[in-house]
Copies of this chain bind each other. A is one copy, B any other.
Amino acid sequence: MTMVTIVEVGLRDGLQNEEAILPLEVKREIATGLMAAGLTELEITSFVHPRWIPQLADAEEFANTLSISEGVTTRALVPNRRGLERALHTPVDEIAVFLSVSETHNRQNINKSVKDTLLALREVTAEAKHRGKRVRGYLSTVFGCPFEGEVSLTQTALICTELLKMGVYEISLGDTIGVATPRQVQEILKSLTKEIPTAQLAGHFHDTRGTALTNAYVALEVGVTTLDSSFGGLGGCPYAPGASGNVATEDLVYMLEGMGEKTGVDLDALCWVSDRAGRYMGKALPSKVFNAWLATRRLKEEKSHE
């Protein structure tokens, strides 16, 4: 039995890719529900410019007013020094930084070369640590880039080493566009863990092609015990109807608990949270476990009305 750490990224990676903009009080209700369901690692928002991600424009207010349960660690994504300063004016516990392995994706996303991004992140990380915050790193396009296709594993390993050197405590390896297949995940992780301590790696899988849960399973088999997910499977790209988001926390928890692992998450409590979010957004959420829960609940309600 392994204790698997689930990093719940729905409030950030999930919401930033949803069309609906949730009001502060709904976000607060969701975050409180996630904590009550037993999720202890929450990424709550991103301090990017509101012009880019209006869904998270309330970052300061949300981070400043959210009441955090004991034992819960919060983190916020920052794109640069300016974002860091905003985050540091809130009680958020940890900072998350990001870059891509592939040059083209990094330029499209951050408008800088990978090399210059690493220089900037070194500064951001040093400052965050100086101010008493741990820093997590997101590495995007590890399993494939929409512009370059296959990416260099050597480049991935180099960037990971650089991130650890600058003091990032954990690197979340992202299948940003959801193209990874299980043997590829196995090969990349087995190769990376020869140079990078497994305990400092996390898996971040998107379900665009249905392989996210399988990839999470394979990551776990290789020894990676920290996995990112979004409640309800939130995060379908608003510009691509039908596109899927992060692996769903419910599905991940169901699989892990069924495998005898411990997650500390109460599935029923979690499904109520997704239900609240789905109702507010007026959309069906992709999590299969959540949908099975919904179907069971509807049947029960129908019976009680008979």
Please report A residues at the B interface, Cβ cutoff 8 Å. Answer: 178-184, 207-211, 213-214, 217-218, 237, 239-244, 248, 250-251, 254-255, 258-260, 284, 287-289, 291-292, 294-296, 298-299
Contacts and interface: CB of A to CB of B under 8 A. Distances in A.
A61 to B, nearest CB: 33
Given A211-B251, A242-B292, 5 more contacts: A178-B288, A210-B251, A213-B214, A242-B284, A242-B294
Given A181-B255, A258-B184, A295 B210 contact: no
Given A210-B251, A210-B288, A243-B292, A181 B259 contact: yes
B254 A287 contact: no
Contacts of A218: 217
A272 B68 CA distance: 48
9 contacts: A184-B258, A207-B288, A208-B288, A209-B255, A211-B251, A211-B254, A214-B217, A240-B296, A244-B288
Nearest to A233: B210
A180 B288 CA distance: 13
Integer count of this chain's copies in the complex: 2
Contacts of A217: 182, 214, 217-218
Nearest to A216: B214
A116 to B, nearest CB: 31
A238 to B, nearest CB: 11
A198 to B, nearest CB: 19
Contacts of A254: 181, 209-211
Contacts of A237: 295
A292 to B, nearest CB: 5
A227 to B, nearest CB: 13
B209 A289 contact: yes
A296 B184 CA distance: 24
